[in-house]
Amino acid sequence: MAEKQQHHFLIIAYPLQSHINPCINLAKYLISSTGSAVTLSTTVSAHRRMFSSISKPDQEVNDGLITYIPFSDGFDEGSKRGSMDFKEFISLLRVKSQPNVSTLVGDLAAAGRPVTCIIRTMFLEWVAEVAGEHGIPSVLYWIQAASVFAAYYHYFHGFENLIRSHADDPLFTVYFPGLKPLQIQDLPSSFIDTVNTFHISFLDCFRDVFQVLERDGRVLLNTFKDLEAEALDSINPQTLSLFTVGSCGPLSGAAGHLFKEDEKKYMEWLDTKEEGSVVYVSFGSFSLMKKEQKEEMVRGLKESKRPFLWVVRKDNREEGEGVIEIEEGGGEDGMVVEWCDQVRVLAHRAVGCFVTHCGWNSTLESLVCGVPMVAVPQWLDQCTNAKLVESLWGCGVRGVVDGDGVVQGAELVRCLELVMGEGEKGVEIRNKAKVWRDKALEAVAEGFSPLIRFGCSFLRKPLPKPNFYNRYCKLRVLQLLSL
């Protein structure tokens, strides 16, 4: 055991829920599969929200598995981006954070806990420089779909001009090597928006991600081979070393939430509903649902006459708009919460459909729980994920938007009936959702073979016997899903 504990992963996470959740899951799997120590570090402001009871904002926390130590990014009271564009913000974050993370690495070594591998999420490319300064290997953890990774890779390797020249034609088809055809409307929004400064800056940041990978091309991807085999095979292995980490399983009932869970007894409410009857609606931790979309969502939920559980974050409310107004507008048999434990909800027998923005974490969680989806993508990678859900995996349907990008109430009703109704298409979608659930569990139960190979390569250890890990990892996933 002492020999195993010599290896120490330091994971540096960008301070968003969509980055922190998969990092916590990755940490757990590294610990369980390699016996290594793992320290997870994000900004002081995010750390404080994760552990609201700590006496000092930079206090070290250990939950029995993972050690959490924050670093200061200069925004310890929370980010106030103001008029800064995204790239300017990322640049400032780097200036403030890089020396502090370097100090953290040195302090861990001085305390007898030397770091032997640093893992970073996107937009923290300077972490690779910190690792180089200390002579430590570094790896990118790609927390989006492998298909999106492949799309960015090919965009930056020969397809940028073609896509830019057809940006105004949503139906123009792009044929990336090794991938199924994608229309312009299916690509990440940053590829085609040449006006919005956020998208322009966002694309520049991704350009930086891939420039760093040209120097050190080791990448962990939060997906599994069966789910995105074509996308993974479309990348030249001599150019980049890709390791799939199985779906790093959903996070449930653990530290890591940046939002306070609603005190409403939503799980008890779900217990009163029939199997497969409830519509769960959430646009995640970052996307904002436009006022017009909320109004149409209320209309569609009311007309569908199906019970619903809807997450509407406090920061996604109009002035004067409260939970009661939204709840009453949606009909008698609905519940609106500010935040919930999404995995517990998706794993509940009563949930029959997930109306989702198709962020990658939400998409994976729905797949692992076998819940069919109605995709309502907003921007960035979500359009590509929605295409995968509907066309490649067949476990959901994408809502058709109007000229303002809003899914009308009548269209939502159509989608819900298609997914949850007794028609042939609905049965097919639900069956496909169950197939992908089983495949996801199998990918994890196969001993995390790519992940174990990755971990053991640093440990210089032989691969463990697969049978033991088959049993252990399957139990682990069932435990995380509360099944």
Mean pLDDT throughout 233-252?
75
What residue ranges do the domains of the chain occupy?
4-146+198-253+446-480, 266-438
Domains 4-146+198-253+446-480 and 266-438 share a fold: yes
| Predicted local distance difference test score (pLDDT) of residue 462 | 52
Half-sphere exposure in the Cβ direction for 75 (13 Å, CA): 16
3-state helix/strand/coil string of 271-321? HCCCCCCEEEEECCCCCCCCHHHHHHHHHHHHHHCCCEEEECCHHHCCCCC
CB neighbour list of residue 433: distance below 8 Å, 6 or more residues apart: 366, 367, 370, 371, 372, 373, 395, 396
DSSP code for 382: H
Confidence at 318, pLDDT banded by 50, 70, 90: low
Q: How many CB atoms lie within 10 A of CB 79?
A: 17
CA pseudo-torsion sign 171, 149, 437, 24: negative
Going by C-alpha positions, the residue among 165, 184, 164 that lies closest to residue 174 is 184
The CA-CA-CA angle for residues 205, 98, 102, to 5°, reads: 140
Q: Give residue-wise pLDDT tens across range 421-470.
A: 999 999 999 999 999 988 887 776 544 444 444 444 444 445 444 444 44
Cα(132)–Cα(157) distance, integer angstroms: 26
| Predicted local distance difference test score (pLDDT) of residue 82 | 56
Catalytic residue numbers read 19
Range in 109-118, 166-175, 258-267 the model is least confident about: 258-267
| Predicted local distance difference test score (pLDDT) of residue 327 | 54
Per CATH, the number for 266-438 is 3.40.50.2000
Cα(430)–Cα(369) distance, integer angstroms: 12
Mean pLDDT throughout 58-77?
92
Cα(21)–Cα(40) distance, integer angstroms: 11
Question: Exposed, middle or buried by CB within 10 Å (0-12, 13-18, 19+), for 483?
Answer: exposed
Indicate the fold that domain 4-146+198-253+446-480 takes in CATH: Rossmann fold (3.40.50)
Cα(122)–Cα(415) distance, integer angstroms: 34
Cα(23)–Cα(442) distance, integer angstroms: 21
CA 350 to chain centroid: 24
Answer for the pair 30, 455: CB distance below 8 angstroms, yes or no.
yes
Q: Give residue-wise pLDDT tens across range 109-118.
A: 999 999 999 9
| Predicted local distance difference test score (pLDDT) of residue 467 | 40
